[in-house]
Amino acid sequence: MLTFHSASARIVDSRRAIADCLEAACGDRSADIDLLIIHASMGHDFHVLAREAAALAPRARIVGASCCGVVGSEGVSESLKDIAIMAVQGPEVAVAHVDDIRGDNSASRARSLAGELKSSLPLVNMVFFMASGIDIDNDACIAAIEAELGPEVTIFGATSADNMRGVTSFQIFGTEVFSHSAWLVGFADPTLSVETQASHGFIAVGEPLVVTRSDGNRIGELNGRPAWAEYTRRLGLAEDAICAETIPIGALAEELSDSLADEYGNRHILRVITRRDDDGTIYYPTTVAEGSRLWLTLRDEQRIFDDLDRMMHSLSARIGSSEIAAVFHADCLARGRHFFHRILKEELVSRMQQPLAREGRIPPWLGMYGFGEFARLGGRNTFHNYTTAIYTLCRRQPAMA
């Protein structure tokens, strides 16, 4: 049976940061950890984090990712020196890794990743997926993982991020650090199940942009013009704008079916642009067909909070009185009451954590601010952007004979 322990901190020195988190989470039992998951902001030295973690937890399989800030049971922090960990103890886990995963090879790389995991953990029933947040076709990744593991296996997780620049992000596997890789953690504890849900609270506005030329996850033209030029024009930005300027205000929206919109609480699902080429090609986070209509959006402050409350009510109802073994959480930086250089997320985080508290205590919690989120929608594994996504691992009581 798996047990989970978390900790988070804001510490400048990377060696001390991982050591303090391990001590806070595990006390003097770091050597007994079977899996260590690390989220850290871009100010940390990821090589130091990985090597120090391996020295302090020598039997643990170590994975990690860069992010724009962390959320733990202690609360939220958004500095360049944040770190959060989840330490897992028990035999029912396995990890797999692939490097050089990009939009054009996402399907083959993700299928290889899932196949490797399945060979070492045949009874896997849920997976935590983490990939680079820049130039990945996340729909292709989902389809490939499902082809190996089956669509009934829930995929949760995120895409790693930098400090909102859209330049590079990092992934840790073992003691190595990568910039365009993906890892997969599989769980096979038969006493655990996972409940996932996501919400955003943005509103689509204006006339849609029409994709007039695309190839996989690359958009060459919008409305018959070079995609980046048309996208920035509609945002009111100069064509030489960079992704750091478009990410906060440039969420694109795809229309959902009526049934999915009812479940989601919103008529649209959002997408983020984290890379563009000099010729004006933009990189979409999923496969996008020619003829697709994409709306620009506005953040609705009240709706962000209202939709979060709605989501937590739904999650809480499904969880009921079950024991919560751990919570994994992926969030977008472009959320909260305050934005740009005045980001305060305490109220938003409190509204997601308190409904999951037991006797006033927040369960082990590992959250990050990244570029994208995975959570089920309409009973299917789905990729999201600009959402709060919660993944609650519940330990069900065995049925009475």
Instruction: Compute the C-alpha angle 335/366/330, nearest 5°.
Output: 35
Mark whether 72 and 182 lie in a shared domain: yes
Long-range residue pairs from 246-251, CB within 8 A, at least 24 positions apart, any chain: 246/273, 247/164, 247/166, 247/272, 247/273, 247/274, 247/333, 247/334, 248/164, 248/333, 248/334, 248/339, 248/340, 250/296, 251/202, 251/296, 251/297, 251/334, 251/385, 251/386
Distance CA 258, CA 126 (A): 28
Share of the chain above pLDDT 70, in %: 96
Mark whether 229 and 367 lie in a shared domain: no
**pLDDT bucket at 343, cuts 50 / 70 / 90:** very low
Structural domain contains residue 401: no
Whether the predicted pLDDT of 337 surpasses 60:
no
Last-in-domain residue among 248, 269, 297: 297
Residues in the chain, overall count: 401
Mark whether 167 and 178 lie in a shared domain: yes
Mark whether 8 and 75 lie in a shared domain: yes
Mark whether 288 and 367 lie in a shared domain: no
Tell me the pLDDT tens digit for each residue of 44-99. 999 999 999 999 999 999 999 999 999 999 988 888 999 999 999 999 999 999 99
Mark whether 71 and 113 lie in a shared domain: yes
Q: Which residues lie closer than 8 Å to 144 by C-beta, 6 or more apart?
A: 106, 107, 108, 109, 110, 111, 113, 114
| Cα torsion angle, 252, 258, 260, 266, sign | positive
Is there a contact between 307 and 198 (Cβ–Cβ < 8 Å)?
no
Q: What is the mean pLDDT of residues 342-365?
A: 86
Helix (H, G, I), strand (E, B) or coil at 148: helix
**pLDDT bucket at 335, cuts 50 / 70 / 90:** low
Structural domain contains residue 367: yes
- DSSP H or E run through 181: none
Structural domain contains residue 400: no
Mark whether 65 and 177 lie in a shared domain: yes
E strand residue ranges, 161-217 = 171-173, 176-178, 182-187, 192-199, 202-215
Last-in-domain residue among 297, 323, 338: 297
Mark whether 178 and 44 lie in a shared domain: yes
Helix (H, G, I), strand (E, B) or coil at 267: coil
Q: Which domain holds residue 214?
A: 202-297
Mark whether 57 and 18 lie in a shared domain: yes
Given the DSSP bridges, would you call strands 252-255 and 225-226 parallel, antiparallel or unpaired? unpaired
Q: What is the mean pLDDT of residues 170-176?
A: 97
Distance CA 132, CA 28 (A): 33
Residue 106 has a pLDDT of 96
Structural domain contains residue 141: yes
Q: How many distinct structural domains can be found in the chain?
A: 2
Mark whether 40 and 145 lie in a shared domain: yes
Last-in-domain residue among 297, 321, 355: 297
Tell me the pLDDT tens digit for each residue of 67-79. 999 999 998 888 8
More confident residue, 214 or 135: 214
Q: What is the mean pLDDT of residues 195-205?
A: 95
Tell me the pLDDT tens digit for each residue of 270-313. 999 989 999 999 999 999 999 999 999 998 888 988 999 999 99
Mark whether 193 and 340 lie in a shared domain: yes
Whether the predicted pLDDT of 165 surpasses 90:
no
Mark whether 182 and 119 lie in a shared domain: yes
- DSSP H or E run through 328: strand 323-332
Distance CA 58, CA 51 (A): 10
Residue 77 has a pLDDT of 87
